[in-house]
Structure 1
Amino acid sequence: MLCGGASRRMGRDKALIEVDGTALAVRVADALRAGGCHEVRAVGGDASALEALGLEVVPDAHPGEGPLGGLATALAAAPPGAVLALAPCDLVAPDPAATAQLLGALAAAPPEVDAVVPVVDGRDEWTLSAWRVDPARAAAVAALLADGRRRLAAVAEVAQVVRVHDVERGAVADADRPEDLPAGTDR
């Protein structure tokens, strides 16, 4: 789960914002587990605050390098042969069914497929995706970073991807600004 970033538009750490009494990062972690993830780790962010919420934290090896740096960190930290579900910590309504759908699509894909990404409203939603962990894939993502790339969409240049078109829009909705938060949330 990606927890790094400056949260400039939000004005405070998005991972720690409570919705219905639960921090966004915990809501996402719970949905990932319910969707089939056996281990959930927070990449980057305020390690002591996230650990106080009961989350395991992996320090971001590429702080300030955007979501692509978070993916590179996650791929490098996971054991080869593992499957990785990537999600941002600020999903407003994290959906276990979407996670299960992406993991299932990856399991059904041929071994040369690197990742599964949902397409919502005609747009690839890279922050919620499923990946096969392999040193070559991790190296390809690290090479993009070394080339100055920061956006997750850059992985389309180096990864074989299966796109899933029936993921609900709400499953990928995130909170970048206070007005993106559900009504009743302390903004």
Structure 2
Amino acid sequence: MTVAGLILAGGQSRRMGREKAFLPLGGRLMIERVIDRLVPQVDRLAINANGDPARFSALGLPILQDDLPDTGPLGGVLAGLLWAESLAPAPDYLATVPVDSPFIPADLVQRLEAASRENPGGVVIAASGERDHPVVGLWPVGLSGTLADWRRSAKSHGVRSFLATIGFTVVDFPFLVSALDPFLNVNTPEEHARAEGLLAAEAHL
């Protein structure tokens, strides 16, 4: 089974007040931390982002834009699926993670893959602490047509709404040290400060 990876960085970062991808975190950019976590787990990697792609040029990765602006992360998922389908050979799955989750587990894709074998061709998403994370998922490559059709007619562009129409499997991940949620979202300055503190504490373990 081959897996391509996609970092979803197409949001507008309204609550943070600045683009989260380039937010410094523990001496590195947030997007660099997510790349470091995801690169060993996938065969190819791209970034979903809107606006001028040149700002990501130093990262050396393909930049994929949403098909429609301001319609949520499914636009990025669709762009990723279309990109994955264009690769030769095309991977079996696309793994997606948001750019504001710098603590994703090192075995994320491995565990999602294992669950996908029990439900071939289905979507698998992650959960932690009795909460699911629908944008942290494994999407079968070839789903783009279904997703594109749904986006043209759906009243809501929410990820959960789409998943409810096609079905999905959930894989639960335990919290890490210091009761850290592996899918902690750094959406606000307060959450950024907490993430900085967690990294500092981790460095002293």
Most deviating of 145-154 and 83-92 = 145-154
Query: What pairs up with 1:32-51 in 2 under 5 angstroms?
Result: 32-34=38-40, 36-45=41-50, 46-51=52-57
Shift of 1:25: 1.4
Q: TM-score, normalized by length of structure 1?
A: 0.85
Q: Percent identity?
A: 26
The offset of 1:42, in angstroms, is 0.2
- Give the drift of 1:88: 0.3
1:60-82, Cα deviation, whole Å (9 max, x unpaired)? 22221111111111112212553
Q: CA deviation at 1:174?
A: 1.0
Local SS of the residue matching 1:127? strand
Number of corresponding residues: 180
Q: Which runs of 5+ in 1 are unaligned?
A: none
Whichever of the two has the greater Rg, that structure is 2
User: CA–CA distance in 2 between the matches of 1:104 and 1:67?
Assistant: 24
Alignment check: 8 A CA contact 2:47 2:62 kept: yes
Ranges of 4+ aligned residues in structure 1 off by more than 3 Å: 166-169
Q: Do structure 1's residue 162 and structure 2's residue 169 form an aligned pair?
A: yes
1:110 alignment partner, one of 115, 119, 124? 119
Distance in structure 2 (CA, Å) of the matches to 1:177 and 1:99: 27
Q: Structure 2: how far apart are the matches of 1:148 and 1:28? A: 32
What is aligned with 2:159? 152
Asked if the contact 1:62–1:73 (Cα under 8 Å) also holds between the matched residues in 2, the reply is: no
User: Residues 60-116 of structure 1, C-alpha deviation per residue, up to 9 Å, x if partnerless?
Assistant: 22221111111111112212553110000111323222232213322x2232x4211
Give the AA of the match of 2:185: D
Query: What is the CA-CA distance between 1:125 and the residue it aligns to?
Result: 0.8
CA RMSD of the aligned region, Å? 2.1
Tell whether the 8 Å contact from 2:123 to 2:137 is kept in structure 1 after alignment. Answer: yes
Secondary structure of the structure 1 residue equivalent to 2:44:
coil
